[in-house]
């Protein structure tokens, strides 16, 4: 066979394979291969077709959108075809895209882009006629789709009416319907309990739900939607960002994660930022979408048969590797929850050597049917803890393969472990005497977000615990300089420093004290709400379950946990000791103004943020700064006071800051300002 014959054969086989995967994906909601493998096959086919155009056919999956209309449903033609996005896993290709788009622009220096997350769900198009919802349609084959109006109306906050436009009778909006990850996990847990096969992923489950003939399922399964496009041209809308603003004004749900980018640096910042943060989103994100912002330029660039030339998707490369399971150990958290940890044969993964991987909880191990020496797949992306995501189903197990069973007794204090009814966690109930729990509670109390006793790290906690001087946070306030100086490695200065930190914690406001107590499920936000509502600890201790439920955003789970905590006499005694030590157990009346008056560093300052921050996602950082009275701007001018930089800040931002003599602050310095300000 010569080269051309070989190419023809390969093209045919790739086409068949991809068509088969497409059919499984769009019609049966099944992913037979990962998205990454699928995209690689498609890219291979595309490059072969480019090299041998004589074998390119109309029906090739590279020339068509993958889906098909469903025969069960009434269909309707789209007013504007619903196309795909060309995608890439390479930053180089994003640079090429930006360069290409700029080259074709009449105003390359002022051209802007919008970066958005690529939501992994099911595309929907909704048409409004004279302001009233007319129909909702799936993507189908890109030209026509299935009518799913009834289904879509079961999603909360879908506007039934919008303000009609004087220039267009029909207005079409587009978005992505999805199943939140938390809902998916809950449903799957239930399925496992009922011995049903768990569903494979939230996207396929959402897609299947839209295909059921009972629209109520959409509500029962809590499907949700994010809108991201307004294909109907409207004269007042000149940019994609303006169309998003219009969607927001019409009360469509839009994810606040989109950003206008001026150049490739901004785009790369966005890519790097969301690579780390995407898992904090309530839904799966499989990449980002970069769109030309100016509609006039979008129109000039136009479409190919399959996708717009003015947009591209950048997909994050999943990082997985295979290795062997050597041992499972068990960590005991401050609340007594036991977390299994897998020790694996070390492997290189995403630039680091991985030796340990997360196993979440007992049911995770059970579902994997994990055995020692099993061949396992480890996944790691960005900064997440590596985890075991699969066990090789085809391996042959022998004698050395011993089934992993969860321990019955606490590995630290040997108390019989407990599994509560509705929870998948197994925990040790010996909260007063189990060493890792005691140390964990003290570390939680001392951490920065809590009582901020910086000098009290884990090593010092170990030393103090060994001397039997501390077994709960209140014991910290009985420590003396004399005692601390007896600790190994503690000179006068270090000892004084520790005491100063402990003393300073008496100024920490009530809401943080409440968080520091480590009441199960009471995180920073819940603690704040409870503190604001009850004003002091005595009222909170006395609160009935019903009263607790009256607090905004406090549900049954937290209310029950709070009640349970205060029903234990040793917790009440502990609080009394904290009270005697002078800890703030009621809210300080003008907390915020006090902070701002005394530490005006942030007040009225104009800030610009660039780069990726270790501790903050950008939206959070912006909110925090604004809470302190700063103004956060996107570009540097002579009026800017500070440029805050994380990792890989934009080079242009730095040079502009230098040009305008704007002070540059890195994350470490920023942290210091925050901690001074929050004291
Ligand atoms: S814009 C012409 N923006 O990705 C295509 N699509 O591969 C315009 N998607 O069918 C689509 N997030 O289902 C766009 N922020 C986003 C998106 C997004 C997810 C999906 C959508 C589309 C598919 C294209």
Over residues 625-649, mean pLDDT = 86
Q: What is the pLDDT of residue 595?
A: 40
Given a cut of 70, whether residue 414 has pLDDT beyond it is: yes
pLDDT at 351: 63
The per-residue pLDDT for range 100-110, each reduced to its tens digit, is 999 999 999 99
Q: Does the beta carbon of 227 sit less than 6 angstroms from any atom of ligand 1?
A: no
pLDDT band at 658 (very low <50, low <70, confident <90, very high): very high
Q: Residue range 45-53: average pLDDT?
A: 89
Distance 281 CA to ligand 1 centre (A): 17
pTM here is 0.53
To the nearest 10 degrees (0 to 180), the angle between helices 458-466 and 435-446 is: 130
Mutate to test the pocket of ligand 1, among 118, 270, 290 (most ligand atoms within 8 A of CB): 118
Q: Is 83 in the pocket of ligand 1 (CB under 6 A)?
A: yes
The region that residue 9 occupies, defined by phi over 0 for left and psi between -120 and 50 for alpha, beta otherwise, is: alpha
Match 């009434």 to its residue by tokens. 74
Q: Does any ligand 1 atom lie closer than 6 A to the CB of residue 228?
A: yes
DSSP string covering 519-532? -TT--HHHHHHHHH
Quick one: average pLDDT of 292-320? Answer: 92
Q: Which pLDDT score is estimated for 592?
A: 40
Q: How far is the CA of 118 from the centre of ligand 1 (A)?
A: 7
The angle at the Cα of 118, spanning 117 to 120, to the nearest 5 degrees, equals 130
Atom number, ligand 1, closest to the C-alpha of residue 258 = 15
Listed in order, the ranges of the chain carrying CATH 3.30.470.30 are 75-313
How far apart are the C-alpha atoms of 477 and 484, rounded to whole Å?
Answer: 12
What average pLDDT does range 88-101 have in this prediction?
Answer: 94
Name the active-site residue from 12, 74, 95, 118. Answer: 118
| Residue-level pLDDT at 589 | 56
Pick from 55, 63, 77, 71: which is nearest to 145 by CA?
A: 77
| Residue 271 to residue 371: CA distance in whole angstroms | 38
Average predicted confidence (pLDDT) for the chain = 89
H helix runs in 403-555, sequence order? 435-446, 458-466, 481-485, 492-504, 510-516, 524-534, 537-542, 545-550
Helix%, strand%, coil% for the chain, nearest 5: 40, 20, 40
Confidence tier at 620 by pLDDT (50, 70, 90) = low
Residue 78 near ligand 1, beta carbon < 6 Å: no
Atom 2 of ligand 1, residue of closest alpha carbon: 83
Cα–Cα distance between 437 and 201 in angstroms, integer?
A: 35
Q: What stretch(es) of the chain map to CATH 1.10.287.610?
A: 1-64
CB of 268 closer than 8 Å to CB of 254: no
229: Cβ below 6 Å to ligand 1? yes
Q: Give the pLDDT score at 540.
A: 96
- Give CATH 1.10.150.20 domain extents, the chain: 435-507, 510-581
Tell me, what DSSP letter sits at residue 155? S
Per-position b or e across 606-641, b if 16+ CB within 10 A of its CB: ebbbbbbbeebbbeebeeebeebebebeeebeeebb
- The CATH architecture that domain 1-64 belongs to is Orthogonal Bundle (1.10)
Taking alpha carbons only, the member of 293, 301, 296 closest to residue 260 is 293
Does residue 590 carry a pLDDT above 70?
A: no
Q: Which are the contacts of 506, defined by CB distance < 8 A and separation ≥ 6?
A: 581, 582, 583, 584
Res 421 pLDDT > 80: no
The CATH superfamily label for domain 510-581 reads 5' to 3' exonuclease, C-terminal subdomain (1.10.150.20)
In b/e form, how buried is each residue of 396-409, taking b as 16+ CB within 10 angstroms? eeeeeeeebebeee
- Nearest atom of ligand 1 to the alpha carbon of 121: 13
Task: Give the Å distance between the CA of 31 and the centre of ligand 1.
Answer: 18
Report the separation in Å between the CA atom of 239 and the middle of ligand 1, taken as the mean of its atom positions: 17
Is the predicted pLDDT of residue 597 greater than 50, yes or no?
Answer: no
Q: What is the CATH number of domain 606-678?
A: 3.40.50.10190
Question: Among 321, 326, 342, 340, which residue's Cα sits nearest to residue 402?
Answer: 326
Identify the three-state secondary structure at position 496: helix
Q: Which of 89, 16, 10, 1 lies closest to 48 in space, CA to CA?
A: 10
pLDDT beyond 60 at 383: no
Residue 84 CB less than 6 A away from ligand 1: yes
Rounded to the nearest whole angstrom, what is the distance from the C-alpha of residue 107 to the centroid of ligand 1? 26
Helix (H) or strand (E) holding 633: strand 631-633
For the chain, how long is the longest CA-to-CA vector? Answer: 89
Spatial neighbors of 50 by CB under 8 A, at least 6 apart, are none
Indicate the CATH number for domain 318-408: 2.40.50.140
Residue 619 has pLDDT above 60, yes or no: yes
Q: Which of 168-182, 370-384, 505-519, 633-647 has the lowest mean pLDDT?
A: 370-384
Cβ 258 under 6 angstroms from ligand 1: no
Closest-CA residue to 209 (of 168, 180, 246): 180
Contact assessment for residue 539 and residue 561, using Cβ atoms and an 8 Å cutoff: no
Active site residue 400: no
- The answer to whether the CB of 290 is under 6 A from ligand 1 is no
Task: Write down the CATH superfamily of domain 75-313.
Answer: DNA ligase/mRNA capping enzyme (3.30.470.30)
- pLDDT score for 593: 36
Nearest atom in ligand 1 to 139's CA: 10
- 196 or 39: which leads in pLDDT: 39
Q: What is the pLDDT of residue 127?
A: 97
For helices 569-581 and 556-566, what crossing angle results, to 10°?
80
Q: Which residue has the tokens 């068949």?
A: 16
Region of poorest pLDDT, from 34-38, 142-146, 470-474: 34-38
**Which of 399, 325, 405 is closest to 357 using CA atoms?**
325
Give residue 70's pLDDT.
Answer: 57
Looking at residue 306, its pLDDT comes to 86
Q: Please tell me the distance between residue 124's alpha carbon and the centre of ligand 1 in angstroms.
A: 10
Comparing 99-113, 248-262, 491-505, 618-632, which segment has the lowest mean pLDDT? 618-632
| Nearest atom (ligand 1) to Cα of 313 | 7
Residues 621-641 have a mean pLDDT of: 83
The DSSP secondary-structure symbol of 468 reads T
Class (C level, CATH) for 435-507: mainly alpha
Ligand 1 centroid from CA 142, angstroms: 12
User: Tens digit of pLDDT for each residue in 350-374?
Assistant: 667 889 998 888 888 888 899 999 9
pLDDT, tens digit, 9 for 90 and up, residues 209-226 = 998 878 889 999 999 999
Of 387, 111, 117, 67, give the one whose Cα is nearest residue 228. 117
């Amino acid at each position: 066979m010569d080269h051309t014959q070989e190419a023809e054969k390969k093209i045919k086989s790739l086409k068949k394979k991809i068509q088969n995967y497409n059919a499984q994906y769009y019609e049966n909601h099944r992913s037979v291969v990962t998205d990454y493998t699928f995209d690689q096959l498609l890219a291979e086919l595309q490059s072969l077709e480019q090299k041998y155009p004589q074998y390119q056919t109309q029906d090739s999956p590279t020339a068509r959108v993958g889906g098909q209309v469903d025969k069960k449903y009434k269909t309707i033609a789209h007013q504007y075809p619903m196309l795909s996005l060309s995608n890439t896993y390479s930053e180089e290709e994003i640079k090429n895209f930006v360069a290409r788009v700029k080259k074709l622009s009449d105003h390359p220096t002022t051209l802007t882009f919008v970066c958005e997350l690529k939501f992994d769900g099911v595309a929907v198009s909704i048409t409004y006629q004279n302001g009233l919802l007319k129909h909702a349609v799936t993507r189908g084959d890109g030209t026509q789709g299935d009518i799913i109006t009834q289904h879509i109306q079961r999603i909360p906050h879908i506007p039934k009416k919008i303000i009609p436009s004087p220039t267009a009778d029909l207005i079409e909006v587009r978005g992505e319907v999805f199943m939140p990850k938390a809902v998916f996990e809950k449903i799957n847990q239930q399925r496992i309990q009922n011995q049903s096969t768990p569903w494979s992923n939230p996207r396929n489950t959402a897609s299947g739900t839209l295909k059921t003939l009972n629209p109520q399922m959409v509500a029962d399964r809590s499907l949700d939607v994010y809108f991201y496009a307004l294909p109907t041209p409207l004269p007042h809308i000149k940019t994609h960002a303006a169309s998003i603003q219009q969607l927001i004004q019409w009360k469509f749900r839009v994810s606040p994660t989109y950003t206008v980018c001026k150049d490739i640096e901004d785009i790369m910042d966005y890519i790097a930022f969301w690579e780390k943060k995407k898992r904090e989103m309530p839904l799966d994100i499989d990449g980002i979408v970069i769109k030309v912002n100016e509609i006039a330029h979008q129109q000039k660039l136009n479409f190919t048969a399959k996708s717009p030339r003015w947009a591209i998707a950048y997909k994050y490369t999943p990082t997985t590797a295979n290795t062997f399971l050597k041992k499972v150990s068990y960590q005991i958290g401050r609340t007594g929850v036991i977390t299994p940890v897998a020790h694996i044969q070390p492997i290189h993964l995403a630039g680091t050597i991985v030796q340990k991987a997360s196993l979440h909880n007992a049911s995770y191990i059970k579902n994997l049917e994990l055995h020692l020496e099993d061949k396992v797949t480890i996944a790691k992306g960005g900064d997440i803890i590596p985890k075991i995501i699969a066990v090789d189903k085809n391996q042959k197990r022998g004698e050395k393969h011993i089934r992993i069973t969860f321990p019955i007794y606490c590995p630290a204090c040997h108390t019989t472990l407990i599994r509560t009814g509705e929870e998948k966690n197994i925990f040790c109930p010996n909260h007063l005497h189990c060493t890792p729990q005691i140390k964990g509670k003290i570390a939680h109390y001392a951490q920065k977000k809590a009582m901020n006793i910086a000098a009290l790290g884990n090593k010092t906690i170990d030393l103090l615990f060994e001397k039997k001087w501390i077994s709960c946070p209140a014991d910290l306030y009985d420590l003396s300089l004399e005692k601390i100086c007896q600790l190994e490695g503690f000179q006068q200065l270090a000892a004084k420093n520790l005491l100063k930190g402990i003393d300073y914690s008496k100024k920490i406001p009530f809401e943080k004290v409440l968080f520091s107590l480590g009441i199960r499920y009471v995180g920073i936000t819940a603690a704040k709400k409870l503190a604001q509502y009850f004003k002091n600890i005595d009222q909170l201790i006395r609160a009935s379950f019903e009263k607790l439920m009256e607090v905004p955003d406090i549900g049954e789970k937290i209310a029950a946990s709070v009640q349970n905590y205060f029903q234990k006499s040793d917790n009440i005694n502990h609080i009394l000791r904290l009270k005697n030590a002078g800890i703030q157990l009621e809210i300080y009346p003008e907390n915020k103004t006090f902070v701002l008056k005394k530490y005006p560093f942030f007040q009225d300052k104009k800030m610009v943020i660039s780069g990726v921050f270790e501790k903050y996602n950008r939206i959070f950082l912006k909110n925090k700064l604004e809470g302190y009275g700063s103004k956060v701007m996107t570009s540097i001018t002579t009026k800017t006071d500070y440029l805050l930089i994380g990792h890989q800040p934009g080079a242009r931002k730095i040079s502009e800051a230098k040009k305008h003599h704007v002070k540059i602050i890195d994350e470490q310095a920023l942290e210091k300002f925050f901690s001074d300000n929050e004291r």
